[in-house]
Structure 1
């Protein structure tokens, strides 16, 4: 009978334990988006597809949100570790309302919110006599800014139902949209239109946040820190070659087309949604503290939050994204 040297047995056993330990080192983390899978979520999917999260010791699951999904409630109930806030302002409002949520990064330096007009309307100033289709949620957000800056009136508004047909059918209407989404659908419908980006006119909101419960940040700091770093690497990789992330996006959302994905990625790049502003020198996802305070002041001035209910510094933890410094 052939005997196996004792040293070799120990080596094999040690290797097995090491491999087992490596597998156990992958800490699970669930991140929930705020809509169906799309290019606007590409960096998160890219980090899954290319193994970036695993390289950082994480086993990450991306869960889709949607129009009837309250991701804040689901996170509070423990069904997600961190979520994609639509903006830093939304997360501050939630915090002031009693949910202990903390924002640790914001992928979009520019909020992609737009108003879309027919081609004969060339500026916000030319919309004063138009019917403007906006969602009820906008009434407690950017609509207040638009009214203050351009003199729009509440009487102009009608509900936006996330359907472009009322806009397509009526040349006297303007509708809300996302730079990377609705303009493409309107173009495909054969209507010539202009997209007017709020961010280029002084709207300072950040968008597409990484926001987590305060308890998650307190009890799992290494996991959240690793998630922040890996996510920014994922976004850099996605903008360089979106194919791996797009494959997973289409798997989660079979209705997503290659044409829509290409359009959206192109707009993210063209308009500097991710890589402009402070991200150029401080890295993807960075939040400027002075700008965050400006956004907080907007919320207070418009009575969207009570200052006694929230200190701006409690709504953010920014050292991890600063340390990551993943340049675009």
Structure 2
């Protein structure tokens, strides 16, 4: 999953392909007849960045909250968000806050109810020879940026840090152009691209996480339709709470059940990449940092949303006249669920 690369406007039409996969395990405590059936769509193929959700299925957490959850994986030609809007899914894993703002701009009746990632994992990776130590050091380098990144986070880089488009080249999800040019940097995801570079080229790249320089979008948000949030608040609360517990268990506990299920859904996933991804999520505070330290994983705040919205307006990414406050609700987050599962040391 690469949140900024997967940014999609609601007004674009995508072909919906692929089948739904049921991700359920037998429950010893409850019978399926007593569980509320829930469908949850991700925005990419199964990977560690979705780990808490798979963990909650695999270790029975969802069932303990009275839920029979079916996970519907995304992929290159699958738009699960359209299925959410159409009422075919109950919940969707949204990439970032920009998608939430876009929903308001296009009068799409969905709302973000929790954010599993406190930091957007978007990064640039650079060669050690380029001597990059901070974000500004990237400016003179050739920058490989995707077509989805240019109208989103790169506009923020231009607005806030004075980056130019003159040295940008297209990023096509192929690391070879970056590897061949030591005076270049490549966009990526903190939990995957650095690992791929190490494997392919045998060196450890310099990693610059945009979130550490003010790109304060939430990421990996749980979205639902407004009618669901308003009409079935208990169901939404249970799904949010169980997902939060799943993430605590995945990050800090025995995550083998979640990883086994991820590999069942995505046989190409490897144990070493899963371990690397989890380690980086912990090292960089992707899941558990900031407001989550007090309010629990999934935390969101009005101040944070306002700050990011203002930055995106200054960058020309979103219109200033939309009511961004309609894009989310704090009704289901910030309850401190699961904080006791965080290691004390």
Same-fold call, TM > 0.5?
Answer: yes
Q: What is residue 74 of structure 2 aligned with on the other side? A: 65
More helix by share: 1
Q: Distance in 2 between matches of 1:192 and 1:47?
A: 33
Once the two structures are superposed, the pairs formed by residues 13-162 of structure 1 within 5 Å of their partners are 22-121=31-130, 122=132, 123-162=134-173
Q: Is there any run of 5+ residues in structure 2 with no aligned partner, and where? A: 1-27
Check if 1:218 corresponds to 2:230: yes
State the shift of 1:88 in Å: 1.6
What CA deviation, in whole Å up to 9, does each residue of 1:72-107 have, x standing for no partner?
Answer: 222112232111111122221222122111000111
Check if 1:284 corresponds to 2:293: no
- In 2 relative to 1, CA 196–292 (structure 1 residues): closer, same or farther, beyond 3 Å? same
TM value normalised by structure 2? 0.85
Q: Distance in 1 between matches of 2:244 and 2:294?
A: 14
Equivalent residues of 2:159, 2:314 under 8 A apart: no
What CA deviation, in whole Å up to 9, does each residue of 1:140-177 have, x standing for no partner?
Answer: 22111211233211122122112212212222221110
SS in 1 for 2:249: helix
Task: State how many pairs are aligned.
Answer: 308
What CA deviation, in whole Å up to 9, does each residue of 1:166-207 have, x standing for no partner?
Answer: 212222221110000010000001244111011111221111
Equivalent residues of 1:89, 1:295 under 8 A apart: no
Check if 1:266 corresponds to 2:279: yes
Equivalent residues of 1:228, 1:324 under 8 A apart: no
Q: Distance in 2 between matches of 1:105 and 1:195?
A: 27
SS in 1 for 2:148: helix
State the shift of 1:23 in Å: 3.3
TM value normalised by structure 1? 0.89
2:327 to 315, 318, 324: 315
Q: Is there any run of 5+ residues in structure 1 with no aligned partner, and where? A: 1-18
Q: Distance in 2 between matches of 1:265 and 1:125?
A: 28
State the shift of 1:237 in Å: 0.6
Say what the alpha-carbon RMSD is for the aligned residues: 1.7
Q: Distance in 1 between matches of 2:77 and 2:329?
A: 29
Q: What is residue 251 of structure 1 aligned with on the other side? A: 264
